[in-house]
A and B are shown apart, each in its own frame.
Chain A
């Protein structure tokens, strides 16, 4: 049957089992939007293209499915850039579809023309410019295949306006033929035997889990591994949720704002088994001083991750859905007790570190402790919620203080650190998981970077609870200025006329405010019970630091444990 190119796109989305698209219309995608109208395909209109791409990202992180967003040519496409880069850094499966000017106008600096393929080349797993309708079905098939297989990532398809208006006898290809693309699943199982031998010899082993576990949905295998061996676990920001935050083996997040126990264990361990991690600089600090005594084992799906930042002694390349069950199976075959895998003196030492220096606040009594806000929400939700954050101090406090206990329950921009990510990502998560509590922790800086999406939230009746950790400063910048720039607070104050409660109300979101610590619990309890979207403006002291902190370039055991106040 003859079909318009725009209809072909919709048919391909159906074939890929896409159930919703986030987007914003414009000149080059009018025919595509007309097809959406005619087919009644589910679509959420955000208020900015950046909102659309982050929403698709939040949808993907919460479910593991591929997120899809639409934008028009030129500024539509360029507004996606930050969101695509965010997804790329955190390996999120995403397909972004942009309109492009007509074929004859390409390269002529036409109205709303931008070379979005050129622009997004370094931040996509792959991208396509479609100038002929004959190529469209195949490109769509390949794009979804590439986005979700192997190490996931964003793929952009730039489709000329002419292609949407052209017609084709549509047949969706059943297979892809990509000569240069291999999505590796199973690797070399001999490597796993070597890993087990090394684990047997180790006296002070540590397991280090990362975003790869969340992405592959292998938290259960990690928990089995820890149950059987009792080996202490540390987590990257992206790995939180793989193992319950309050599990006794869990030492917490490692790195710049890692816990005392996790950072000390990294410096002292003699074997560090990284699972789905990329040894980011916020984890390792100065790479030469990272786990200096340890043999490094690296499990990853991407061969290019091994030896990129930290040299691995053993590598297990392959999908964690292949390697982790096999590792668990082979470990079970050994019939060894916990005390043989994780010696009592080592376990005792790390538990001592955990007790000795738990996370602390440096604030004098009186004001609302930001950590208390998160602890209260954690208690009220029992770890059953989807927690979303923006970027900055509140993000680190959430990572440190919330009790996560499920994979895919923590959505945050880890690699790129994108302020403004949180609200649209929460929208994407809530749409696909209507039964879940979706809670956004944000800051007075971050919320303003995509606050227009409050309208999307309200107009779709999505019951996201937004907690603005309002300290009236760009907190993380302020903290660095306090610590490293002689308290010269250059342009890091947001003190002004903004009233977040009124802002929320103006867009149709209920607004509440907490100014005293006595009110905190009751307001949070009330807000979480309310049906629709709520924004809670929590006024915090200006000068609380995120601690511990490893100064840039420092060793992980050289932590600042007490803040500089004032």
Chain B
């Protein structure tokens, strides 16, 4: 089963090494990891997508991560009502003949075209991972040159912040 964890960490040198080191040492199955600054200057928020067999394995992931000295708080966003998003940039082959068809696809997905030239264009899409997967699949027919994805980030609905959960 897949879970989404919001991990708040102190923004100190080496903190990402500690987290990635722990994940590899304990052989946790991490699907995605996305980090960035937060509303607090010294705090970084890392959203970790993890795939585990059962609740016991999840408990291990959370407990082991919690032991890291720089980890302030871990909130499990899987069971709370939350918004999950990922951003993708996809470079696709596009020529005169198929460009309008491609534009149609982009519109259906409510994606954006952010760069165009004679041979290619770059599509930007944010949304749930499954939506991005679906777009990528359709674009395969046109010829994908490269895909860049951020990994999912998540925030709960309602007024409570992850740090107060």
Q: Interface on A for B, CB 8 Å cutoff?
A: 117-118, 121-122, 125-129, 146, 178-181, 302-304, 306-308, 311
Contact = CB atoms under 8 A, between A and B. Distances in A.
B137 interface: no
B158 interface: no
B21 A180 contact: no
B14 A146 contact: no
Contacts of B25: 122
A180 B69 contact: yes
B52 interface: no
Given A117-B14, A180-B10, A304-B64, A125 B69 contact: yes
B147 interface: no
A118 to B, nearest CB: 6
A121 B18 contact: yes
Given A121-B18, A179-B10, A304-B64, A311 B69 contact: no
B63 to A, nearest CB: 4
A127 B15 CA distance: 10
A307 B60 contact: yes
Contacts of A118: 17
B139 interface: no
A126 B17 contact: no
B142 to A, nearest CB: 42
B72 A180 contact: yes
B9 A122 contact: no
B14 to A, nearest CB: 6
A135 B18 CA distance: 20
Interface string B65-84: 01111111100000000000
B56 A311 contact: yes
Which of A125, A181, A302 has the most CB atoms of chain B within a 10 A radius of its CB? A181
Contacts of B34: none
A180 B18 contact: no
Contacts of B70: 180
16 contacts: A121-B21, A122-B22, A122-B25, A125-B69, A128-B14, A129-B13, A129-B14, A179-B72, A180-B9, A180-B10, A180-B73, A302-B67, A304-B60, A304-B63, A306-B63, A308-B60
A126 B56 contact: no
A507 B60 CA distance: 49
Contacts of B69: 125-126, 146, 178, 180-181
Contact of B59 (A126, A179, A181, A307): A307
Given A118-B17, A121-B17, A127-B14, A180 B68 contact: yes
B9 A307 contact: no
Given A121-B18, A122-B21, A127-B14, A307 B56 contact: yes
A125 B64 CA distance: 11
A302 B60 CA distance: 11
A303 B65 CA distance: 11
Given A179-B10, A180-B10, A304-B66, 15 more contacts: A118-B17, A121-B17, A121-B21, A126-B18, A126-B69, A128-B14, A129-B13, A146-B69, A178-B69, A179-B72, A181-B69, A304-B60, A304-B64, A307-B56, A311-B56
A107 to B, nearest CB: 12
A303 B66 contact: yes
B36 to A, nearest CB: 18
A181 B68 CA distance: 8
Interface string B24-48: 0100000000000000000000000
Nearest to A131: B13
A118 B63 CA distance: 22
Interface in B104-139: none
B73 to A, nearest CB: 8
Given A127-B14, A146-B69, A180-B68, A303 B9 contact: no
A129 B68 CA distance: 16
Nearest to B69: A126
A494 to B, nearest CB: 33
A204 B68 CA distance: 39
B17 A180 contact: no
A121 B19 CA distance: 9
A180 B71 contact: yes
Contacts of A179: 10, 72
Contacts of B56: 307, 311
Contacts of B72: 179-180
Contacts of B9: 180
B63 A303 contact: yes
Nearest to B9: A180
A128 B70 CA distance: 11
Nearest to B42: A179
A180 B72 CA distance: 4
A103 to B, nearest CB: 13
Nearest to B63: A304
Contacts of B13: 129
A118 B13 CA distance: 11
Nearest to B59: A307
Q: Which 9 A-B pairs have the closest CB atoms?
A: A304-B63, A121-B21, A180-B72, A126-B69, A122-B25, A180-B71, A181-B69, A179-B72, A303-B63
A211 to B, nearest CB: 17
B76 to A, nearest CB: 15
A215 B74 CA distance: 29
Contacts of A117: 14, 17
Nearest to A123: B25
Nearest to A142: B69
A287 to B, nearest CB: 12
Contacts of B10: 179-180
Which of A118, A179, A306, A311 has the most CB atoms of chain B within a 10 A radius of its CB? A179
B21 to A, nearest CB: 4
A154 B13 CA distance: 19
Nearest to A302: B67
Contacts of A302: 67
A434 B25 CA distance: 40
A128 B69 CA distance: 11
Nearest to A146: B69
A101 B140 CA distance: 50
Which of A118, A126, A129, A302 has the most CB atoms of chain B within a 10 A radius of its CB? A126
Interface in B49-102: 56, 59-60, 63-64, 66-73
A556 to B, nearest CB: 22
